[in-house]
Amino acid sequence: MADTDELVAIEVHGWRESMQILAALPSEVRHAVFGDLEAVGREATAEAAGRVHSRTGATAAGYRVATTSRGVSLRNSVVGARVLEYAGKLHPEGRVPRGRALIRTLNSQYGPIVGGKGRLLWRSVLDRKERIEAAAQSAVEAIERELSARGLA
Protein backbone atom coordinates (compact mmCIF):
# COMPACT_ATOMS: atom_id res chain seq x y z
CA MET A 1 0.00 0.00 0.00
CA ALA A 2 1.30 3.42 -0.90
CA ASP A 3 -0.15 5.39 2.02
CA THR A 4 1.31 4.63 5.42
CA ASP A 5 -2.02 5.48 7.05
CA GLU A 6 -4.05 3.09 4.91
CA LEU A 7 -4.69 0.00 7.00
CA VAL A 8 -6.87 -2.47 5.21
CA ALA A 9 -6.44 -4.46 2.03
CA ILE A 10 -8.71 -7.41 1.33
CA GLU A 11 -8.51 -9.40 -1.88
CA VAL A 12 -11.81 -10.26 -3.57
CA HIS A 13 -12.03 -12.26 -6.79
CA GLY A 14 -12.86 -9.89 -9.65
CA TRP A 15 -12.23 -6.73 -7.61
CA ARG A 16 -9.43 -5.23 -9.71
CA GLU A 17 -11.30 -5.82 -12.98
CA SER A 18 -14.50 -4.43 -11.48
CA MET A 19 -12.68 -1.28 -10.29
CA GLN A 20 -11.27 -0.70 -13.77
CA ILE A 21 -14.73 -0.97 -15.30
CA LEU A 22 -16.36 1.06 -12.54
CA ALA A 23 -13.94 3.94 -13.13
CA ALA A 24 -15.71 4.58 -16.43
CA LEU A 25 -19.13 4.85 -14.76
CA PRO A 26 -20.51 7.93 -12.94
CA SER A 27 -19.26 8.45 -9.37
CA GLU A 28 -22.77 8.09 -7.92
CA VAL A 29 -22.79 4.50 -9.18
CA ARG A 30 -19.52 3.84 -7.34
CA HIS A 31 -20.92 5.29 -4.10
CA ALA A 32 -24.14 3.28 -4.43
CA VAL A 33 -22.19 0.08 -5.06
CA PHE A 34 -19.95 0.58 -2.02
CA GLY A 35 -22.73 1.45 0.44
CA ASP A 36 -22.58 -1.82 2.42
CA LEU A 37 -18.80 -1.85 2.43
CA GLU A 38 -18.67 1.75 3.68
CA ALA A 39 -21.18 0.92 6.44
CA VAL A 40 -19.04 -1.96 7.74
CA GLY A 41 -15.98 0.30 7.50
CA ARG A 42 -17.72 2.98 9.57
CA GLU A 43 -18.55 0.37 12.24
CA ALA A 44 -14.89 -0.72 12.36
CA THR A 45 -13.58 2.84 12.61
CA ALA A 46 -16.14 3.75 15.30
CA GLU A 47 -15.15 0.70 17.35
CA ALA A 48 -11.45 1.47 16.97
CA ALA A 49 -11.99 5.10 18.02
CA GLY A 50 -14.00 3.92 21.02
CA ARG A 51 -11.07 1.80 22.21
CA VAL A 52 -8.88 4.86 22.76
CA HIS A 53 -8.44 5.76 26.45
CA SER A 54 -7.51 9.37 27.08
CA ARG A 55 -6.79 11.23 30.28
CA THR A 56 -6.87 14.53 28.38
CA GLY A 57 -10.16 14.02 26.51
CA ALA A 58 -8.39 13.51 23.18
CA THR A 59 -10.22 11.30 20.69
CA ALA A 60 -9.37 9.15 17.72
CA ALA A 61 -11.81 11.09 15.57
CA GLY A 62 -9.37 11.00 12.68
CA TYR A 63 -10.52 7.57 11.52
CA ARG A 64 -12.13 7.92 8.10
CA VAL A 65 -13.82 5.69 5.56
CA ALA A 66 -13.01 6.84 2.04
CA THR A 67 -14.36 5.66 -1.30
CA THR A 68 -11.53 5.71 -3.82
CA SER A 69 -11.06 4.55 -7.37
CA ARG A 70 -9.63 1.33 -5.89
CA GLY A 71 -12.52 0.72 -3.51
CA VAL A 72 -13.04 1.66 0.12
CA SER A 73 -10.14 2.45 2.44
CA LEU A 74 -9.93 3.04 6.17
CA ARG A 75 -7.51 5.75 7.25
CA ASN A 76 -6.52 7.84 10.23
CA SER A 77 -5.62 11.43 9.48
CA VAL A 78 -4.70 12.52 13.03
CA VAL A 79 -0.95 12.38 13.73
CA GLY A 80 -1.25 11.39 17.39
CA ALA A 81 -3.70 8.63 16.57
CA ARG A 82 -1.39 7.32 13.86
CA VAL A 83 1.41 7.17 16.43
CA LEU A 84 -0.87 5.18 18.74
CA GLU A 85 -1.83 2.88 15.86
CA TYR A 86 1.64 2.33 14.39
CA ALA A 87 4.35 2.99 17.01
CA GLY A 88 6.64 -0.04 16.87
CA LYS A 89 5.51 -1.22 13.44
CA LEU A 90 8.96 -0.88 11.85
CA HIS A 91 11.01 -1.34 15.02
CA PRO A 92 8.93 -3.43 17.46
CA GLU A 93 11.36 -2.90 20.34
CA GLY A 94 11.96 0.79 19.61
CA ARG A 95 15.23 2.41 18.64
CA VAL A 96 15.72 4.91 21.48
CA PRO A 97 14.78 4.80 25.17
CA ARG A 98 11.73 7.09 24.79
CA GLY A 99 10.51 5.06 21.81
CA ARG A 100 10.91 1.82 23.74
CA ALA A 101 8.97 3.28 26.68
CA LEU A 102 6.20 4.54 24.38
CA ILE A 103 5.87 1.18 22.62
CA ARG A 104 5.80 -0.70 25.97
CA THR A 105 3.07 1.62 27.26
CA LEU A 106 0.97 1.36 24.09
CA ASN A 107 1.38 -2.41 23.98
CA SER A 108 0.29 -2.72 27.62
CA GLN A 109 -2.78 -0.50 27.14
CA TYR A 110 -3.88 -1.47 23.62
CA GLY A 111 -2.00 -4.63 22.80
CA PRO A 112 0.75 -5.14 20.23
CA ILE A 113 0.42 -4.39 16.55
CA VAL A 114 -1.65 -7.12 14.91
CA GLY A 115 -0.32 -8.70 11.73
CA GLY A 116 1.90 -5.70 11.00
CA LYS A 117 -1.22 -3.61 10.32
CA GLY A 118 -2.02 -1.62 13.47
CA ARG A 119 -3.16 -1.79 17.10
CA LEU A 120 -6.81 -0.77 17.07
CA LEU A 121 -8.33 -0.57 13.62
CA TRP A 122 -6.99 -3.88 12.35
CA ARG A 123 -8.54 -5.70 15.35
CA SER A 124 -11.88 -4.07 14.52
CA VAL A 125 -11.50 -5.13 10.89
CA LEU A 126 -10.63 -8.71 11.81
CA ASP A 127 -13.76 -8.86 13.99
CA ARG A 128 -15.75 -8.03 10.83
CA LYS A 129 -13.66 -9.90 8.25
CA GLU A 130 -16.49 -12.13 7.02
CA ARG A 131 -18.90 -9.19 6.75
CA ILE A 132 -16.31 -7.10 4.91
CA GLU A 133 -15.58 -9.90 2.45
CA ALA A 134 -19.33 -10.46 1.89
CA ALA A 135 -19.90 -6.72 1.33
CA ALA A 136 -16.97 -6.58 -1.11
CA GLN A 137 -18.30 -9.58 -3.04
CA SER A 138 -21.73 -7.94 -3.05
CA ALA A 139 -20.14 -4.79 -4.50
CA VAL A 140 -18.57 -6.80 -7.34
CA GLU A 141 -21.94 -8.42 -8.06
CA ALA A 142 -23.66 -5.01 -8.00
CA ILE A 143 -21.12 -3.73 -10.54
CA GLU A 144 -21.88 -6.70 -12.77
CA ARG A 145 -25.64 -6.00 -12.48
CA GLU A 146 -25.09 -2.31 -13.26
CA LEU A 147 -23.05 -3.17 -16.33
CA SER A 148 -25.70 -5.63 -17.50
CA ALA A 149 -28.43 -3.04 -16.99
CA ARG A 150 -26.45 -0.56 -19.11
CA GLY A 151 -25.82 -3.21 -21.78
CA LEU A 152 -22.05 -3.11 -21.19
CA ALA A 153 -21.56 -6.68 -19.97
- What's the pLDDT score for residue 58? 62
- Check pLDDT > 90 for residue 81: no
Distance CA 80, CA 54 (A): 12
Please give the pLDDT value at position 96. Answer: 95
In this prediction, residue 6 carries a pLDDT of: 44
Percent of the chain with pLDDT over 90: 12
User: What phi and psi, each to the nearest 5 degrees, are found at residue 79?
Assistant: -60, -50
| Closest listed residue to residue 126, CA positions, set 25, 68, 48 | 48
- Angle (CA) 114-98-63 rounded to 5° is 40
Minimal CA–CA distance to 80: which of 66, 93, 64, 61? 61
Per-residue pLDDT tens over the stretch 104-141: 999 999 899 988 888 888 888 888 888 888 888 888 78
Q: Where are the domains of the chain?
A: 15-76+119-149
Pick from 76, 86, 82, 80: nearest CA to 58: 80
What's the pLDDT tens digit per position in 37-58? 888 888 888 888 888 877 676 6
User: Where are the alpha helices (H) located in 34-118, listed in sequence order?
Assistant: 35-50, 79-86, 97-110
Among 9-23, 92-106, 117-131, the least confident range: 9-23
Question: Binning pLDDT at 50, 70 and 90, where does residue 101 land?
Answer: very high
What's the pLDDT score for residue 57? 66
